[in-house]
Chain A
């Protein structure tokens, strides 16, 4: 198990080693949101706004302010729906999101995906301009020596994404780096056609940090 990787979705009964305090806090936050929601939501009707199960971590406009939680705003609706379904079926494994996704009724997935896809993605802040410049090189042109393709090839020149390749622009650097590492060690393996796993195997930690630093500055338009 790595700093980033979690291999079981059902271990919600958290046994806390001291060095995983941060993870504990995140899970607690997520758990409180879910408890609140399971009391609050019993209605049979289709929702007209996402409830606290989602907004507790991702916020109402889908621009999470916690760097470990991804921004959902502006992701393609089909992409969001696929991820929720993958979490429910354990095709994408997360200690935090797995139990959350299991509380989303299938009939609500379409609405939630549509709602968050229509929110406007905020842009992140670059703290290391030199690192971001390295990242731009990787994003626009790839890394020739290690045969890493340019991120822009699939994710779009401005990181805007498609229904199959997620919008990256403005995403939290912490989340981006975590996901790249998860692909690299195959903890996350729901990428289309195994391509992200192949690419990240060719990337160093420094490459990932640089790419993330640039990506967070993109507006996606």
Chain B
């Protein structure tokens, strides 16, 4: 885990370089919004020597909602974070702290009072390596084929991969094995801009999507295996 700095440097091209940090970071749709802005805090996080063991202890403060193995809730109220890329976790956590990703439920538990910069790095590597034996929340199961078609038609696979495995270097989250209801809810929030920190291409890709196609996509993605199983089979 001590190699995080190198890992972080490898990620740098994925961010756009910033000149300065404004007092309040702009959200999606407002002037000056950059979806992957490399904020001062994020640079600080990426410079830390992250440690998964410390991360597990720091994650104790998150377990009240996200549960012991970062599995969240099958009903999708809280996402499955198990095995998500460290880079994605760091982006999302720092975005919530900066008020770019709008998440009032979580805000008090990820504020600088609650979690240090080092702990963000620690939690991120802990989550990236976490495992669970629990089954994620699934959809009805009759839309899987339709979901796969929509997934390719809308070009989701170009960023999120052929198996929903995402791309850590580019900060694209793994979607496979995520809870059905969470996928559906976040897609709706991205579509309307309410999530606050989305990639503009992502918002564009979902702008005119129907509810039934979002349901199909979620049905499909929730039944794909954890990204690490896909990589292992390659």
Point out residues on A near B: beta carbons under 8 Å: 142, 144, 147, 149-154, 162, 165, 193-195, 198
> Is B113 part of the contact surface with A, judged by Cβ < 8 Å?
yes
B108 adjacent to A153 (CB under 8 Å): no
What residues of chain B lie closer than 8 Å to A144, measured between beta carbons? 73, 75, 77
Point out residues on B near A: beta carbons under 8 Å: 60-65, 67, 73, 75, 77, 105, 108-109, 111, 113-115
- Pick the residue among B61, B64, B108, B113 that contacts A142 (CB under 8 A): B64
Q: Which residue of B lies closest to A142 (CB)?
A: B64
What residues of chain A lie closer than 8 Å to B113, measured between beta carbons? 193-194
In angstroms, Cα B63 to Cα A150, docked, is 8
What residues of chain A lie closer than 8 Å to B63, measured between beta carbons? 149-150, 152-154
A selection of 22 A-B contacts at a CB cut-off of 8 Å is: A142-B64, A142-B65, A144-B73, A144-B75, A144-B77, A147-B65, A149-B63, A149-B65, A150-B64, A150-B65, A152-B64, A153-B67, A154-B61, A162-B60, A193-B113, A193-B114, A194-B108, A194-B113, A195-B108, A195-B109, A198-B108, A198-B114
Leading 4 A-B pairs by shortest Cβ distance: A149-B64, A153-B64, A198-B108, A153-B63
- Pick the residue among B62, B73, B75 that contacts A153 (CB under 8 A): B62
B109 adjacent to A149 (CB under 8 Å): yes
Q: Which residue of B lies closest to A153 (CB)?
A: B64
Q: How far is the CB of A198 from chain B (nearest CB, A)?
A: 3
Extra inter-chain contacts (14) besides given A142-B64, A150-B65, A193-B115, CB under 8 Å: A142-B65, A147-B65, A150-B63, A153-B60, A153-B61, A153-B62, A153-B65, A153-B67, A154-B60, A154-B64, A165-B60, A194-B114, A195-B61, A195-B114
In angstroms, Cα B61 to Cα A49, docked, is 35
In angstroms, Cα B111 to Cα A147, docked, is 16
Q: How far is the CB of A200 from chain B (nearest CB, A)?
A: 11
In angstroms, Cα B21 to Cα A147, docked, is 31
Q: Which residue of B lies closest to A156 (CB)?
A: B60
In angstroms, Cα B65 to Cα A151, docked, is 10
What residues of chain B lie closer than 8 Å to A165, measured between beta carbons? 60
Q: How far is the CB of B182 from chain A (nearest CB, A)?
A: 13
In angstroms, Cα B68 to Cα A154, docked, is 10
Q: How far is the CB of A43 from chain B (nearest CB, A)?
A: 40
What residues of chain B lie closer than 8 Å to A151, measured between beta carbons? 64
A193 adjacent to B105 (CB under 8 Å): no
Q: Which residue of A lies closest to B75 (CB)?
A: A144
What residues of chain A lie closer than 8 Å to B105, measured between beta carbons? 147
In angstroms, Cα B64 to Cα A142, docked, is 7
In angstroms, Cα B109 to Cα A150, docked, is 13
In angstroms, Cα B67 to Cα A150, docked, is 9
Q: How far is the CB of B172 from chain A (nearest CB, A)?
A: 27
What residues of chain B lie closer than 8 Å to A195, measured between beta carbons? 61, 108-109, 114
